Amino acid sequence: MHSYLTTLKPFGDEEETQSRTILWGIKSPSTLTATLLTTDDTIENSSLSAAVHSMGEYKQSLKMVVPLLRTASRLTTASASSSASFLIRRNVSTSGGGGNIPHIPVIRTLPQLRRWRQEARERKLEVGVVPTMGALHEGHLNLVRASMAGNPLTVMTLFVNPMQFAPTEDLSSYPRQLERDLSLLSTLLTTPSSSSSSSYSSPTPTRSLRGLGISEHESFRPPTPVANAAVESPLVVFAPSPEVMYPLKGELQDLGRHKGVRVDVKGWGEVMEGSSRPQFFKGVATVCTKLFNAVEPDHAYFGQKDIQQALLLKILVQDLLLSHPTSSNLHILPTTRASSGLALSSRNAYLSPPELVVAPVLHRALSSAVDLYTTSASPVDEEDGITGEDLISIATRTILDEQQRLLSAPEAEGGGVELRLDYIEVFDKHTFEPVRGKVEKGREMVIAGAVWVGTTRLIDNLLIGWEVN
């Protein structure tokens, strides 16, 4: 199988993309699949497939790319924060029309997962876990890449956890797109420029892909019954139902009525994100403890974008004496951003084009604080040193200035968008205590914030005095 991921920014014109794909030529019956992805998930996935048997048909089939290109150029003109990727796959068939697309085994139940884990253990294969709620983007893929680089086996967990959503929050509208997620993940099983097939081949025969149609390759299989052949795949997905994760069933969102076990990291879980979303870390800590117990990962991978979550989980595994993973095997990977600075996030999909223009302000605000810290890092004397309050103040000013600008901006530049600050805080990496007064040299801190852009709540952070590994 051949898989190509081309990032075009600004998006290339149709001619350029067509000629590039035509150059690959065609030697045997193939299936061409074109998928438009965006770095910040501002549009729904678009994917089309065509079976091709000759060079003529191959060129013809490239026409299907045109509507996707139009969407892409509309999108990139509408929003400076978006860059588009175009994934074109040519699956060469060995038996006339079908393709050997590497696919991701999907594990649904605990017994399946336990069997898979046991086999990994017997084969002495280390396991990395990447917990997510799906609606994947490059930030998630980077976590998977890190796990795959460090472990022969990776489990991406994909579960929209009801317990971390308050009853007033967006549980029902949270994007759920398993087929698209699996399709994206399958690109990680291929070598972009390799002319040979993937190092991993599907353990089950794939169905033929027929004709033009939406993503036939994505919906072509039911979730794989986990033959332990799944251990042959370096990447599997664990996508449990709420009943698997919460076997006592009952109330999961209204915590006043919830019965059963809950994990609560008091103190660390009650400030900043925990103060704005009092239920959030109770749900995260509970579900992650369950996921760690279920997968028993040697290593776990989380994103810096949710820095308080990642640091709190390190504390959780230490305090609960967990061994899989240990605190030092819980890795935090840097935030993946759009070119505008906006942190990639599944919830960016909620943003309208004008809101997408405004959203990068949070990163600009936090950057202004880090710039202030950096430029005043070597004060002539202690009196010149900056304070935690200075950092918060300059970041807050950036948000307030943006609010002012929006009052008279045209719609294309964000006019009409409601921007509201939730909080900006500078806190100690270890204690989560707010940093106030003079900032001591060498102190490891985080400046983090949350804003509402319309009805979407966005978070971001930057590190001061330390880096994630």
Ligand X SMILES: Nc1ncnc2c1ncn2[C@@H]1O[C@H](COP(=O)(O)OP(=O)(O)OP(=O)(O)O)[C@@H](O)[C@H]1O
Ligand Y SMILES: CC(C)(CO)[C@@H](O)C(=O)[O-]
Residues carrying an active site annotation: 140
Distance between CA atoms of residues 261 and 352, nearest Å: 39
Nearest to 146 by CA among 340, 304, 339: 304
Between 32 and 295, name the residue whose CB sits nearer to ligand X: 295
Give me the amino acid identity at 48. L
Question: Is residue 343 involved in binding ligand X (CB under 6 A)?
Answer: yes
Between 32 and 284, name the residue whose CB sits nearer to ligand X: 284
- Buried b / exposed e across 304-322, counting CB within 10 Å, b at 16+? bbbbbbbbbbbbbbeeeeb
Instruction: State the nearest-atom distance from the C-beta of 277 to ligand BAL, in Å.
Output: 8
> How distant, in Å, are the alpha carbons of 28, 82, 217 from that of 98?
11, 34, 10
Question: Is residue 287 involved in binding ligand Y (CB under 6 A)?
Answer: yes
Instruction: State the nearest-atom distance from the C-beta of 275 to ligand X, in Å.
Output: 17
DSSP structural state of residue 258: -
Distance between CA atoms of residues 333 and 310, nearest Å: 10
CB atoms within 10 A of CB 101: 25
In 162-279, where does DSSP find H-type helix? 178-186, 242-245, 273-276
Between 175 and 354, name the residue whose CB sits nearer to ligand X: 175
Give residues 290-329 in contact with ligand Y (rule: CB under 6 A).
306, 309
Among 29, 131, 240, 388, binds ligand Y (CB under 6 A): 131
Partner in contact with 287, chosen from ligand Y, ligand BAL, ligand X, none, beta carbon below 5 to 8 Å by kind? ligand Y
Between 224 and 461, name the residue whose CB sits nearer to ligand X: 461
Within 8 A by CB and 6+ apart from 393, the residues are none
Nearest to 230 by CA among 197, 204, 207: 204
Question: Is residue 43 involved in binding ligand Y (CB under 6 A)?
Answer: no
Distance between CA atoms of residues 450 and 453, nearest Å: 10
Bridge pairing between strands 30-38 and 84-92: antiparallel
Question: Is residue 161 involved in binding ligand Y (CB under 6 A)?
Answer: yes
Looking at the DSSP bridge assignments, the partners of residue 4 are 88
Partner in contact with 52, chosen from ligand X, ligand Y, ligand BAL, none, beta carbon below 5 to 8 Å by kind? none
Question: Is residue 345 involved in binding ligand X (CB under 6 A)?
Answer: yes
Give me the amino acid identity at 28. S
Question: Is residue 164 involved in binding ligand Y (CB under 6 A)?
Answer: yes
Nearest to 144 by CA among 224, 233, 58: 233
Partner in contact with 112, chosen from ligand X, ligand BAL, ligand Y, none, beta carbon below 5 to 8 Å by kind? none
Question: Is residue 181 involved in binding ligand Y (CB under 6 A)?
Answer: no
Instruction: State the nearest-atom distance from the C-beta of 32 to ligand Y, in Å.
Output: 33
In 256-387, where does DSSP find H-type helix? 273-276, 280-295, 307-319, 353-358, 361-375
Question: Is residue 302 involved in binding ligand X (CB under 6 A)?
Answer: yes
Partner in contact with 49, chosen from ligand X, ligand BAL, ligand Y, none, beta carbon below 5 to 8 Å by kind? none
Minimal CB distance to ligand BAL: which residue? 306
Question: Is residue 332 involved in binding ligand Y (CB under 6 A)?
Answer: no
DSSP structural state of residue 29: -
Give residues 357-396 in contact with ligand X (rule: CB under 6 A).
none
Question: Is residue 347 involved in binding ligand X (CB under 6 A)?
Answer: yes
Instruction: Mark residues 282-311: x for contact with ligand BAL by CB under 6 A, - for none.
Output: ------------------------x-----
Partner in contact with 336, chosen from ligand Y, ligand X, ligand BAL, none, beta carbon below 5 to 8 Å by kind? ligand X
Partner in contact with 288, chosen from ligand BAL, ligand Y, ligand X, none, beta carbon below 5 to 8 Å by kind? ligand Y
Distance between CA atoms of residues 409 and 383, nearest Å: 40
Question: Is residue 303 involved in binding ligand X (CB under 6 A)?
Answer: yes
**Distance from CA of residue 225 to its chain's centroid?**
26
Question: Is residue 164 involved in binding ligand BAL (CB under 6 A)?
Answer: yes
Q: Which residues bind ligand Y (CB under 6 A)?
A: 131-133, 161, 164, 284, 287-288, 306, 309
Contact set with ligand BAL (CB under 6 A): 133, 164, 306
Residues in contact with ligand X by the rule CB under 6 A: 132-133, 139-140, 143, 302-303, 305-306, 333, 335-336, 343-347
